[in-house]
Structure 1
Amino acid sequence: MQELFKIVSMKKRVLFVCLGNICRSPSAEAVFNSMLEDQGLQSEVECDSAGTTGYHAGEQADRRMQSHAIERGYRLTSISRPVDPDRDFDEFDYIIGMDDNNVWDLKKMARNLNDIRKIHKMTDFASTKGYESVPDPYYGGADGFELVLDILEDACEGLLADLKA
């Protein structure tokens, strides 16, 4: 299947987006990169993460999120940055918001219909339909960070299947 994927596709680029780019989107990037590596597809798909705001630009991921991710074998290495509509809509094939607000903000940043077609919500790729969005764990406790990782693992599997299809 991997050879078929390489033959019929060009390199795809995915941008994961949340509000501040310190919890959900860097986690999605790490989870997805891990899945790509496990399947030997890291040269076929590239991903990054960003925030709809620049509140945390230049910062590493939230330490609590990093801690929970490490327990599952993920390393959150990205540095927070805001979405750059002029660059990101040109460079990425999929721009994936973590919740309805992120998707709404991305649509407001879109320059044209082609940009809007690239915007998706993370949970649209999930096989378990128990959540409408990836909830922001920032103001909650440990359970919130674990829930984010649970949802992202499911949705990233679905996203990978979508990219292979």
Structure 2
Amino acid sequence: MPKALLFVCLGNICRSPSAEAVMNAVIRKAGDENKFSCDSAGIIGHHEGERADSRMRAHAARRSYDLTSISRQFKYQTDFDKFDLIIGMDDQNISDLQSQARSKADLKKIVKMTDYCSKFTHYNTVPDPYYGGEAGFELVLDLLEDACEGLLNDLNGKL
């Protein structure tokens, strides 16, 4: 059975759908499609049912990533059971996820995306690009490419 990965940000329209798309590409490139499955969610449900932010989709498309996921809210009642690893984008996401954990087992599933960076180690979060400019969306993709490679290496090292 594949390891199920869930990427989480605030609204599930910029960072987490990008992380899902980048990770899927990294997994495909490694030929590990049978080992892992990916999804994304948001702490809040404000954008539930929407596609990813059009600016994020445009920046991702320039790097050949297709952001196809539809926004949904994180559901602690089922997501902790369904996913093996829940990856938050920033400290607030991590704190919000931890506050919804039902047990120590749930808490052990929560990790931070930037903990897997090897090139961009001076960033301790994936910053939200929503209110920023073009450079913010590019930075998010740079960080996610680095972190997703590191995450896959870490996961494959544990299999």
Range with greater deviation from structure 2 (127-136 or 58-67): 127-136
Equivalent residue runs for 1:3-42 within 5 Å: 10-42=1-33
* 1:162 aligned onto 2:157: no
| 1:116 partnered with 2:101 | no
Aligned structure 1 segments of 4 or more residues deviating by more than 2 angstroms:
none
Could you say what secondary structure the match of 1:13 adopts?
A: strand
> In structure 1, how many angstroms separate the alpha carbons of the residues matched to 2:107 and 2:42?
17
The separation in 1 between residues aligned to 2:40 and 2:2, in whole angstroms, is 17
**TM-align CA RMSD:** 0.6
Matches of 1:153 and 1:51, distance apart in 2? 20
Alignment of 1:43-62 (within 5 A): 43-62=34-53
For 1:114, the aligned partner's letter is A
Partner deviation per Cα, 1:85-129 (whole Å, 9 max, x = no partner): 111100111100000000000001101110000000000011131
SS where residue 48 of structure 1 aligns? Answer: strand
For 2:62 and 2:122, the matched residues in 1 are separated by 24
Q: For structure 2, which runs of at least 5 residues remain unmatched after alignment?
A: none
Q: Which of these residues, 98, 101, 104, is aligned with residue 95 of structure 2? A: 104
For structure 1, the residue ranges without an aligned partner over 5 or more in a row are 1-9
- Percent sequence identity over matched residues? 61
- Normalising by structure 1, we get a TM-score of 0.93
Does residue 136 of the first structure (1) align with residue 128 of the second (2)? Answer: yes
Which residue identity does 1:110 align to in structure 2? A
**Residue identity matched to 1:139:** Y
Partner Cα separation in structure 1 for residue 27 and residue 117 of structure 2: 17
How many residues align structurally?
A: 156
Q: Secondary structure at the match of 1:155?
A: helix
TM-score by length of 2: 0.97
Q: Secondary structure at the match of 1:66?
A: helix
Given the alignment of the two structures, is residue 85 of structure 1 paired with residue 71 of structure 2, yes or no? no
Q: Which whole-Å CA distance do the structure 1 matches of 2:152 and 2:49 have between them?
A: 28
- Once residues 128 and 13 of structure 2 are traced to their aligned partners in structure 1, the CA distance between those partners, rounded to angstroms, is 10
* Matched AA of 1:122: M
| Residue type at the aligned position of 2:154 | D
Deviations for 1:56-106, whole angstroms, at most 9, x for unmatched residues?
000000000000000000000000000011111001111000000000000
